[in-house]
Structure 1
């Protein structure tokens, strides 16, 4: 207790000074007696007593700290916030009371002003200050107006130059923006330059500064709104808005600027002319409520337009579609929260929240501009000229495949950076995490993966372009065989490269993600060994296919016979060959089943023709006629280009059962042997008909046997027109006549047998 009495003269004045500095002296004098002060002086003069006092003070500090910690443990954060809120509400009530008192004193203040205006010197001083202020502002405004008139022609020239190219359009937009801000800059510069010469002091100088700042800020905001929300035209539009929507946004931005800026500087002017801090705080909160009400009206008016913009080109269940239905609720909630912080919080907290909100809007705005700039840049980069389209016909289709993916990747990167920036603005340390060890490690891994994928895609596209150019380019130095070899090997090489790139990219991505790829490689080796033993046919297919392709035994477009199937080769893989026969059937033959390749269209071919004539014909005459027909075929304009060498008469090739076969041959273009053979046979048939050369066909001789004396038995024939009755035998008593008849018939049959004629076979 004695210690508390000794400390009271020291602690009480400090507490009272913190509460009310004006009354601290009286409170100290009344709080401690003269005897207590003397005891405190004696204690501080004695070294031992002073040390003891210090120890007692330390003990008291420890006790108070433990009591404060106990109070902090028992009081929750919510209770602390409620206590702070209640204190702020009490403070606001006190400020409103002070504002009411200030309003009540307005008549007194007005009468005082009227009394002072009755003084001629005071009135003259006020008029002089007002004239200087108005002269300063009007002169600066006139200079700004003149600057606007002088820069109008320059702005028109900039608009006319903007149509030359996209680079000139961007530069013209920036220059037009700066020229539009020139009157504001001239007004502000001239006003600040003339302010020292105006010789204004005190509140009048403060009012002049506030008026110049408010006019410059409002005009700059109006110009910025007009330039940002301009409709598309000669100058590029940062936002693709219609003229109506752009004018609507510009009008609302000017409204916010007029109310907010003029209201704030007006309150500051009242404070400069003697309005107390409490009424100023109340007026600032009223201004905040007014701006919040305007913001609510703005959100509700444009909710449908923004929802339609968000739904444009969006999936039905995407985030943009859901945001389109609820964005205005989020906006209203944000407005209410910011207003609540401004009403209940301190001025510093409201300023911090307002500043963070302004920076957040700026970050979102810059992110939107960057996303739109990325879209424009990608469209210009991926735009191909007609010459490039002609050289690479499929390049545009491939570029259009990557364009949506690249747009999403770049937009995602911009969104990620914007989110980190917003977290940093609101004190959550987004950029700090990015600069930490974990953030740098994540960024380096992500960058490594992106570079790997980009390099792989670049290599793939370059190789694909080279392959397509090689397949589409026709060169006089290359024959058909070389072109077929290209069409066969280049697609296979491209597929092999694609598989290799996929494997490498997957391994690099796994390695960057922290996955140990050594077990994967070992497992792949074991799996490959197991596949080698378990799928020997597949391995045989691959090995045989490699050798067939390297030896160039088969090419796409060849007509071949493999494994009992004949047809045109449509495609070759590393494992099988794909054929389409003359009936349109497709046969896929594994290379393991290919023992022999019968290629009928490799480099050249022979049209081999065997022509059969009757035994009675002269072989030399027939050979001469065949040569004549072959020379005529070679001399034909249509068929001569298919014949590489003249006809070869090989001569008598076979003595068949009913014909003599003469073989001829043409050397023709590969694949044309069948057509040449058919045309040659057609012409040979016409020539044989013209020369009456017999083309034999099979005959059949009827043999009825021979008797013991060598005579042939009679044949009983049924002729057309008979009624089907059985012919009667000759009379038995006329043996000589019957014998003569039998001899005559025998002679006829014998003659028919010798001549080789008879009934044609079917």
Structure 2
């Protein structure tokens, strides 16, 4: 193959030296033609139908789209677009039929004039196909949105039409040169020059629009692999353009070179339209599934919507690959050995397996992401200003299940792919077993951490969002992995604690919490009056719209806890939900102090009271001091 490419490149460069003789060859061909050149005007009816019909179709479609809602989705816009496509297809068919009838009626003789008219008609229809496809996918409607969700649609539409028209002209000239029996070097030189120019044009197109193409391939996804493939797509398209040009060099010296050239042109058409088809199918599938599940999908339905879009894109690429295989199977059959053909079949099967694994991976990832808990960390001082939610048991164990399930999908897909590639996986499985055994013996601490974590999770000792104390460290559980738990301390520090190092767990976030606190009252204060006052404060707190839902048992005075030299110490308690217990305690203390102050019940002070038995002692003391 490399030898054919080198020969084709050398022949193409040498053939370009014959291009100065092309005008004289054209003049000679028309001079020897039996039909006058002006009869090429027989194409005028077909051209009028083609141009006028497409213009009228576009005008009617613009009027029809004015009735669409500005926020109409793709499915709502797809119906009018498909009707326009059917009308445009009928116009193309009618124009091609008029071209054929005109040639047979006015130019029945096979000469240079008829060949030129046939080439012009074929080029016009081919360029119109690009125009119709580009207008369908890239021209924004009345609401300013195109079917293909790509940035700068007008620019890409113009570039696509220029590419289609230029390519049609190149092939039309080649067809005419072959039909009139021109010197082969002229056709080879023409194809070498303009094939290289259109390749440069395509590479410029893919490079200039690489950001839009990558964004189209992303389709809103955020995965690292998807992002990598999306950014690689413009470069792959540019590489395909260079590869097709290389195939053209091979076609220059191949026995059936013209057929190779036609196949290369069809290949480039498929390559250019493949991202368009994939993007449209992805959007259609995603919006259709979204309509079926309704405006408020549950996590499973949301995962189905996500995967349906990816399946639509995959179907678009698969159809494109099948089209490429159909174009090249007859050309490559003679160049490949039976072993290479079998390898290619295995490669296609491997691609199908990888695609199936990718679909399963995408579905499970979307499903786990939909069910996964979303806990936003608060900054210090805002813990009580936000609703503290505790994740369910399923939400706590879901990250572990996600890791195991996705790992199993990846491992099984890899093993099946290796098996289809001819790799004996039995020794590989045995080796993995021995490796796992060695790791288990050499990493006993790791095994202890994993096993301890399994039992902690099975016992439901804690969940994400709960505040726990492990004896050495304490904090709110933010993340649970296979071997450790991450705790966020109230000071903001994040502690990562291996499960194997946890001897016991104290959970402060389950069901309820009883908060007790003391007050120092003056020794002369009325305890019964204080008790009734605290009870009223507790009732008022339960009736409060913000505090009431947090209180399970009302605030009450337990009684006298202690008496010291200057105060009576009374104890109060209140039972609340555990998430905001400290906030409820602060509110209770604030309200009790305000109520005591308003009722005139004195709090204890550190003042020292000095008492005397009589006024004579005071007078004598003052005289002595004086």
TM-score range, shorter chain: 0.5 to 0.7
Distance 1:677 1:687 in 2: 15
Structure 2 residue 358 is matched with structure 1 residue 462: no
Q: 1:573, CA displacement in angstroms?
A: 1.7
Aligned to 2:413: 505
Structure 2 residue 263 is matched with structure 1 residue 363: yes
Kindly tell me: are residues 524 and 697 of structure 1, through their superposed partners in 2, closer, same or farther at Cα, counting changes over 3 Å? Answer: farther
Structure 2 residue 587 is matched with structure 1 residue 587: no
Structure 2 residue 357 is matched with structure 1 residue 453: no
Q: 1:531, CA displacement in angstroms?
A: 3.0
Larger Rg: 1
Distance 2:572 2:272 in 1: 76
8 A Cα contact 1:299 1:331, kept in partner: no
Q: 1:189, CA displacement in angstroms?
A: 5.4
**Higher RCO (C-alpha 8 Å, min separation 6):** 2
Match of 2:100 among 185, 188, 192: 185
Structure 2 residue 335 is matched with structure 1 residue 429: yes
Structure 2 residue 567 is matched with structure 1 residue 671: no
Q: 1:445, CA displacement in angstroms?
A: 3.5
Kindly tell me: are residues 537 and 657 of structure 1, through their superposed partners in 2, closer, same or farther at Cα, counting changes over 3 Å? Answer: farther
Distance 1:490 1:643 in 2: 31
8 A Cα contact 2:137 2:276, kept in partner: no
- What TM-score do you get using the length of structure 2 for normalisation? 0.66
Distance 1:566 1:652 in 2: 33
Match of 1:623 among 519, 526, 531: 531
- What TM-score do you get using the length of structure 1 for normalisation? 0.55
Distance 1:741 1:578 in 2: 71
Kindly tell me: are residues 236 and 310 of structure 1, through their superposed partners in 2, closer, same or farther at Cα, counting changes over 3 Å? Answer: closer
3-state SS of paired residue (1:557): coil
Distance 1:422 1:415 in 2: 12
Aligned to 2:473: 565
1:590-605 matches, cutoff 5 A: 590-605=498-513
Distance 2:598 2:113 in 1: 116
3-state SS of paired residue (2:365): helix
Kindly tell me: are residues 693 and 226 of structure 1, through their superposed partners in 2, closer, same or farther at Cα, counting changes over 3 Å? Answer: closer
8 A Cα contact 1:603 1:669, kept in partner: yes
Match of 1:609 among 513, 517, 520: 517
Aligned to 2:400: 492
Distance 1:296 1:519 in 2: 53
Kindly tell me: are residues 699 and 504 of structure 1, through their superposed partners in 2, closer, same or farther at Cα, counting changes over 3 Å? Answer: farther
Distance 2:359 2:482 in 1: 25
3-state SS of paired residue (1:696): coil
Gaps of 5+ in 2: 1-32, 63-78, 139-155, 211-230, 375-386, 611-615
1:343-358 matches, cutoff 5 A: 353=255, 356-358=256-258
3-state SS of paired residue (1:615): coil
Residues paired across the two proteins, number: 509
Q: 1:675, CA displacement in angstroms?
A: 0.6
Aligned to 1:176: 91
3-state SS of paired residue (1:584): coil
Aligned to 1:53: none
Distance 1:532 1:292 in 2: 68
RMSD: 5.0
Kindly tell me: are residues 233 and 245 of structure 1, through their superposed partners in 2, closer, same or farther at Cα, counting changes over 3 Å? Answer: closer
Distance 1:505 1:332 in 2: 38
Distance 2:450 2:563 in 1: 49
Q: 1:472, CA displacement in angstroms?
A: 7.5
Render the CA deviation track for 1:218-272: whole Å, top value 9, x for unaligned: 35434334435548764569996365565555555555555553x33xxxxxxxx
Render the CA deviation track for 1:553-583: whole Å, top value 9, x for unaligned: 2111112212332221111123211111111
Structure 2 residue 124 is matched with structure 1 residue 223: yes
Kindly tell me: are residues 147 and 240 of structure 1, through their superposed partners in 2, closer, same or farther at Cα, counting changes over 3 Å? Answer: closer
Distance 1:184 1:316 in 2: 39
Q: 1:437, CA displacement in angstroms?
A: 5.8
Distance 2:247 2:430 in 1: 56
Structure 2 residue 278 is matched with structure 1 residue 382: no
Distance 1:537 1:701 in 2: 65
Aligned to 1:536: 444
Q: 1:686, CA displacement in angstroms?
A: 2.5
Kindly tell me: are residues 439 and 654 of structure 1, through their superposed partners in 2, closer, same or farther at Cα, counting changes over 3 Å? Answer: farther
Distance 1:530 1:549 in 2: 26
Aligned to 1:439: 341
Kindly tell me: are residues 629 and 248 of structure 1, through their superposed partners in 2, closer, same or farther at Cα, counting changes over 3 Å? Answer: closer
Q: 1:311, CA displacement in angstroms?
A: 4.4
Kindly tell me: are residues 413 and 154 of structure 1, through their superposed partners in 2, closer, same or farther at Cα, counting changes over 3 Å? Answer: closer
Q: 1:631, CA displacement in angstroms?
A: 2.2
Structure 2 residue 547 is matched with structure 1 residue 645: no
Gaps of 5+ in 1: 1-129, 196-207, 265-283, 339-351, 474-478, 703-739, 749-762
8 A Cα contact 1:231 1:246, kept in partner: no
8 A Cα contact 1:651 1:663, kept in partner: yes
Aligned to 1:5: none
Aligned to 1:705: none
8 A Cα contact 2:553 2:575, kept in partner: yes
8 A Cα contact 1:145 1:183, kept in partner: no
